Amino acid sequence: MKSLILLTASVLIAVGTMAQSYSAKDNDTKKVINGKKFHVLYKEIEINKTVDETWNEVAINFIKIDEVVKSVDSTRCLSGDTTYGLGTKRQCFLKYQGKDIQIKEEIIKYIGKGNQREFTYDVYDAPKIPLKNYVTWIVRKDENGKVYLGTAFVFRANLAFLTGVVAKKLQKDGGLRDGILAYKHFLETGEKKVKPEKLRELY
């Protein structure tokens, strides 16, 4: 179980829901997808950039996450000339405790205009991770003009009764927040691929 939690947390640092709009004000911790219960973790942080600037880096440069996030060694596009937006596919190559990990993701929801923008991708191939999960990235501007970057991680353990245990461990670990911090730090300072330990000290 411990190795499952650590492995999942390491992938969360790389990534950063379902095919429906996710509200940043939604406090639900559970969603039902295709008749099955999934757990929802949502984190967000204020970004000192415009909606366009933040969106362009997180969504338009979807394929290039390896240029910003420390834990991703490399990526490649699996969808030909489609490098952002609906139908975009990427493969991420990571290392964890000396082991090579590969995950494949496809954008299944994309809202690219307005003061709340979001895209959702399905982690459709992750053979070494015993979870089914979706990830939504949200860029929003509130009524006071502040811009926020958030991530909703929606998951279900292959052994469903372990989902709640995994959720508690992930909350404690903080891996979901690390991916957001990597983008915040890059957008505000220009520094790329910073270690999560340093990001946690700074923010």
CB 5, CB 169: distance < 8 Å: yes
Residue 195 is predicted with a pLDDT of 93
Range of the domain at 8: 2-202
CATH code where residue 85 lies: 3.30.530.20
Q: What is each CA distance from 125 to 25, 38, 87, 192, in whole angstroms?
A: 30, 18, 15, 27
Handedness of CA 77, 78, 83, 89 (dihedral sign): negative
Rg of the chain (C-alpha set): 16
Domain count, the chain: 1
Residue 169 is predicted with a pLDDT of 82
pLDDT < 70 regions, the chain: 1-28, 96-97
33-86: pLDDT as tens digits: 888 889 999 999 999 999 999 999 999 999 999 999 998 999 999 999 999 999
What DSSP character marks residue 80?
A: T
